[in-house]
């Protein structure tokens, strides 16, 4: 029984750690994005709250909580109030399979540095990402506003398009590692990260991830200048903040996912494993911010064409090529 | 794809078109921002910038407003309200005068409509408040002790309270016509 | 009753309830939401019974992709006020009979003695085992389905090619 309680306590500590890092990361990613975008546009970005604006996320949080929580007339009340939770929920759930270090030995017990090492980890993540789109579709529908609805329709169309290339781009990695567990995949990259063997898959993954997070150039669902704010237009206060949080958590998660699948996870010289994972995780969000500063928005049909005509067949060819090489090498 | 160019050229141009913005944004990252930081640095406003509304006084220190309701009538968002009153000497004034700055769009129409040049817009625009009710200003906070943009103007020397003055004694007023005489 | 058993009955209750709600909702979007809840509960049930792969696929394909498509179509079709329900007996006759048959069959299954001994316990089947089994015993079917998918993909690409707007006088950009 003591063993059980100890295990439970360790689990709780791990969950608190992951949640803390992810949520703080998301809050500060907002700041980083605003700062970086600002500097890229010859502005300063937030610099008033605290030194260099470092307390801005706190101020934002307080502001969001104090804002009035509006529910538009004619909205589907229950759905409208429920769905903002879906996106952060699914993303946080996905963090459960992210391993963040090698096994530690505490008091003679092996403690794996992951909340749960599912043997279908990659699929688990993909399924959660496909569920996250409900918050967008239902939120847009429940708002009962034409812009929200258009945003929802676009978002769903986008989701249908990116799912296939996203999933297919990961297949070669699974083939190379011979497992769908993220821990095994990272362990398989101990001497060489998979990006060396699979540069095409990495590019495909980054492009599909770009479509998944719904940020410029693929922010069709919220397109500020055509749809005001698209699916979350009618949301205010904390409910809006949940959508926002979900988006930034998703960015961080995709960063972590890319780091685990392609960049060798926590493996790296000198620095401790956790630090390496954080550094590699940060690559993707910063890339996404840079892309947002640089590229204009695509039209929906261009996005679909990119996904279906280029990414998906390319991913299939990549699988074929990987399989052929693996077969030849035995 | 443009037919006149080959596929290679257009592909190269497309790639360049996608990659060049990244270089541009990266370069800007190391420039000094051109932002003027507001509370520390305040730009000089143009002379006729329209901000907080004040009720001014004539040179003799009297309130200029005669509660004629013209500003209230012309205001497109109906944010001015007042009640007129008459002093013992027959001079009209506003019993109370209220402007809701939460609704005011600072269009300046009230200033244009005012016959006494009482209501004027000033350069002050820093009037944020925690509570919308704090933006509703009454006469005591609106009235200032100077003549604003037109310090020398006095409405009562041009018009108004005719019975207390000799005919033709107002400024710019022609001498009264003698009805008994046809000669100019 | 063990924890597994308790969870099983809880999930079964959720599935039954949400599926029932999905059938009876007038607003199609609500029906979709209830059905998704039911799929989720089913997925958890699969995980409980030792098939994590099937559980994840259950979320990914029916709940994540198919129902999203349904939702897409329902949203596209517009939001109409639900029509007053037609409560005539004939309309309920066929579903009623089907429901009675299903309930009777279920009761018989529960009543039959040989099923009482199956223990509800955690098991685990890995993706690798499932894949090996599938490819060893059902490879023609798997290959057939993959060919079908390929044909569908090719068809979709063909359709995309067909609908490319033909360059005509109005569509063309003004030449400098
Ligand atoms: S500035 Fe325009 S809106 Fe404001 S009080 Fe005067 S007339 Fe009304
Ligand atoms: S128009 Fe001028 S004089 Fe007339 S009520 Fe307004 S402020 Fe007073």
Same domain, C67 and C145: no
- The reply to whether C32 and C108 lie within a common domain is yes
Segments of chain A scoring below 70 in pLDDT: 1, 104-109
Domain-embedded: residue C169: no
Work out how many domains chain C is built from and give that number: 2
Is C175 part of a structural domain of the chain?
A: no
pLDDT higher than threshold 70 for residue C121: no
The answer to whether residues C55 and C113 belong to one domain is yes
- Is C147 a residue whose pLDDT tops 60? yes
Q: Quick one: C137 and C147 in the same domain?
A: yes
Question: Same structural domain for residues C79 and C132?
Answer: no
pLDDT confidence bin for B99, thresholds 50/70/90? very high
Q: Is the CB of B108 under 6 A from ligand 1?
A: yes
The CA distances from residue C70 to A31, A81, A229, C80, in Å, are 38, 22, 24, 16
Best probe of the A interface among C65, C77, C132, by most A CBs < 10 A, is: C65
Cβ contact A294–B24 (<8 Å): yes
Q: How far is the CA of B114 from the centre of ligand 2 (A)?
A: 5
Q: Do C149 and C65 sit in the same domain of this protein?
A: no
Per the prediction, chain A carries an average pLDDT of 83
pLDDT, position C162: 56
C76 contacts in A (CB within 8 Å)?
Answer: 153
Looking at the structure, tell me whether residues C41 and C54 fall in a common domain. yes
Q: Which domain holds residue C157?
A: 125-164
Does the residue C149 lie in any domain?
yes
Q: Which ligand number lies closest to the CA of residue B109?
A: 1
Q: Which residues contact A22 (CB under 8 A, 6 or more apart)?
A: A92, A95, A249, A252, A253
Together in a domain, C136 and C67? no
Instruction: State the Cα–Cα distance between residues A240 and C167, nearest whole angstrom.
Output: 43
| C12-25 pLDDT per residue, tens | 888 888 888 888 87
Q: Which residue has the tokens 């030194």?
A: A51
CB of C36 closer than 8 Å to CB of A102 = no
Looking at the domain assignment, is residue C34 inside a domain?
Answer: yes
Q: Are residues C114 and C132 located together in one domain of the fold?
A: no
Distance CA B119, CA B122 (A): 10
Cα separation, A9 vs A288, whole angstroms:
36
CATH code, domain with C111:
1.20.120.1200
Give the pLDDT of residue A270. 75
Q: How big is the CA angle at C82 (ends C76 and C88), to the nearest 5 degrees? A: 130
Nearest CA in chain B to A287: B22
Mean pLDDT of B170-178: 75
Q: Is A273 helix (H, G, I), strand (E, B) or coil?
A: helix
Please report the pLDDT score of residue C88 as a whole number. 67
Q: Decide if pLDDT at B71 tops 60.
A: yes
Q: Which residue among B25, B33, B37 sits closest to A293, beta carbon to beta carbon?
A: B25
Residue-averaged pLDDT of chain B:
84
Confidence band of C176 (pLDDT split at 50, 70, 90) = very low
CA-based nearest distance A123→chain C, Å: 6
Here the contacts of A7-10 (C-beta below 8 Å, separation 24 or greater) are: A10/A106, A10/A111
Q: pLDDT by residue (tens digit) across C57-113?
A: 888 888 777 888 888 877 777 666 656 666 666 777 887 888 888 888 888 877 766
Ligand 2 atom with the smallest distance to the CA of B64 is: 3
Q: Are residues C12 and C45 in the same domain?
A: yes
* Residue C86 within a domain: yes
- Which among C88, C92, C80 is positioned nearest to C23, based on CA atoms? C92
For chain A, domain boundaries: 70-102+116-329
**Residues B102-133: tens digit of each pLDDT:** 999 999 899 999 988 889 998 888 888 888 89
Q: Is the CB of B75 under 6 A from ligand 2?
A: no
What is the sign, positive or negative, of the torsion defined by CA atoms of A303, C64, A286, A151?
positive
What average pLDDT does the segment B20-44 reach? Answer: 85
Using alpha carbons, select from A302, A162, A156, B5 the residue that is nearest to residue C164: A302
Do A295 and B21 count as a contact with CB atoms less than 8 A apart? yes
Under 8 Å CB-to-CB from A82, ≥6 apart: which residues?
Answer: none
Minimal CA separation from A313 to chain C, in Å:
9
Claim to verify: residue C53 and residue C70 sit in the same structural domain: yes
**Radius of gyration, alpha carbons of chain B:** 29
How many CB atoms sit inside 10 A of residue A52's CB?
14
- Asked if B19 reaches chain A (Cβ–Cβ under 8 Å), the answer is no
- Give the distance (Å) from ligand 1 centre to CA of residue B50: 10
B76 falls in which pLDDT band (50, 70, 90)?
Answer: very high
| Residue A84 near residue A65 (C-beta atoms within 8 A) | no
Q: How high is the ipTM of this complex? A: 0.76
Q: Which residues contact A175 (CB under 8 A, 6 or more apart)?
A: A319, A322, A323, A326
CA of B83 to the centre of ligand 1 (A): 17
Atom 5 of ligand 1 has which residue's CA nearest to it?
Answer: B104
Do C8 and C26 share a domain, yes or no?
A: yes
Cβ within 8 Å of residue C36, ≥6 positions away = A134, C63, C67
Q: How far is the C-alpha of A235 from the C-alpha of A202, rounded, in Å?
A: 35
Report helix, strand or coil for A65. helix
pTM of the predicted model over 0.80? no
Set of chain A residues whose Cβ sits within 8 Å of the Cβ of C157? 308-309, 313
- Report chain A residues whose CB lies below 8 A from the CB of C60: 123, 126-127, 130
């Amino acid at each position: 029984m003591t063993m059980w309680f100890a295990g439970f306590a360790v689990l709780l500590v791990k969950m608190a750690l992951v949640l803390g890092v992810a949520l703080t990361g998301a809050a500060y990613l907002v700041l980083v994005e605003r700062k970086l975008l600002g500097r890229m546009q010859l502005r300063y970005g937030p610099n008033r709250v605290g030194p260099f604006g470092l307390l801005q996320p706190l101020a934002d949080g307080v502001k969001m909580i104090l804002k009035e929580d509006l529910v538009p007339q004619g909205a589907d009340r229950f759905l409208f109030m429920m769905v903002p939770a879906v996106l952060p929920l699914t993303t946080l759930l996905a963090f459960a399979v992210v391993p963040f270090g090698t096994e530690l030995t505490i008091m003679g017990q092996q403690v794996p540095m992951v909340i749960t090492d599912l043997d279908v980890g990659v699929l688990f993540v993909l399924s959660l990402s496909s569920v996250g789109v409900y918050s967008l579709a239902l939120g847009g529908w429940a708002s009962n506003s034409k812009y929200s609805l258009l945003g929802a329709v676009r978002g769903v169309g986008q989701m249908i398009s990116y799912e296939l290339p996203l999933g297919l781009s990961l297949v070669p990695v699974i083939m190379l590692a011979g497992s769908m567990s993220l821990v095994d995949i990272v362990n398989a990259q101990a001497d060489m990260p998979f990006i060396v063997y699979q540069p095409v898959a990495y590019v495909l993954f980054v492009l599909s991830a770009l479509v998944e997070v719904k940020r410029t150039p693929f922010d069709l669902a919220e397109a500020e200048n055509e749809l005001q704010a698209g699916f979350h237009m009618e949301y205010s206060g904390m409910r809006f903040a949940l959508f926002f949080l979900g988006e930034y958590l998703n960015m961080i998660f995709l960063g972590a996912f890319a780091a685990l699948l392609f960049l060798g996870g926590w493996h790296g010289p000198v620095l401790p494993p956790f630090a390496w994972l954080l550094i590699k995780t940060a690559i993707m969000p910063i890339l996404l911010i840079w892309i947002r500063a640089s590229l204009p928005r695509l039209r929906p049909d261009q996005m679909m064409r990119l996904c279906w005509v280029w990414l998906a067949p390319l991913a299939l060819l990549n699988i074929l090529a990987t399989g052929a090489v693996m077969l030849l090498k035995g | 794809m443009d037919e006149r160019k080959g596929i290679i050229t257009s592909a190269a141009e497309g790639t360049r078109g996608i990659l060049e913005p990244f270089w541009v944004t990266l370069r800007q990252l190391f420039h000094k921002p051109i932002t003027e930081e507001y509370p520390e640095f305040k730009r000089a406003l143009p002379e006729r910038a329209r901000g907080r509304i004040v009720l001014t006084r004539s040179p003799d220190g009297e309130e200029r407003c005669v509660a004629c309701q013209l500003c209230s009538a012309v205001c497109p968002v109906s944010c001015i309200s007042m009640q007129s009153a008459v002093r013992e000497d027959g001079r009209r004034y506003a019993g109370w005068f209220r402007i809701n700055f939460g609704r005011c769009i600072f269009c300046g129409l009230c200033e244009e409509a005012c016959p006494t040049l009482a209501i004027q817009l000033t350069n002050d625009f820093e009037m944020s408040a925690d509570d919308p009710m704090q933006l509703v200003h009454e006469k005591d906070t609106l009235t200032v002790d100077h003549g604003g943009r037109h310090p020398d103007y006095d409405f009562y020397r041009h018009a108004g309270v005719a019975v207390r003055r000799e005919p033709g004694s107002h400024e710019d007023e022609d001498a009264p016509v003698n009805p008994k005489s046809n000669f100019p | 009753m063990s924890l597994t058993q308790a969870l099983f009955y809880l999930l079964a209750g959720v599935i039954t309830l949400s599926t029932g709600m999905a059938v009876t909702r007038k607003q199609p979007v609500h029906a979709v939401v209830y059905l998704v809840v039911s799929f989720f509960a089913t997925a958890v049930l699969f995980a409980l019974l030792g098939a994590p792969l099937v559980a994840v696929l259950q979320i990914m394909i029916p709940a994540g992709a198919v129902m999203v498509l349904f939702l897409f179509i329902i949203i596209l079709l517009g939001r109409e006020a639900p029509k007053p329900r037609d409560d005539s007996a004939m309309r309920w006759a066929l579903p009623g009979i089907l429901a009675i048959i299903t309930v009777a069959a279920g009761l018989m299954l529960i009543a039959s003695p040989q099923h009482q001994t199956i223990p509800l316990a955690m098991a685990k089947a890995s993706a690798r085992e499932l894949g090996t089994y599938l490819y060893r015993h059902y490879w023609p079917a798997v290959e057939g389905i993959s060919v079908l998918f390929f044909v569908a993909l090719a068809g979709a690409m063909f359709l995309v090619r067909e609908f490319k707007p033909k360059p005509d006088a109005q569509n063309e950009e003004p030449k400098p």
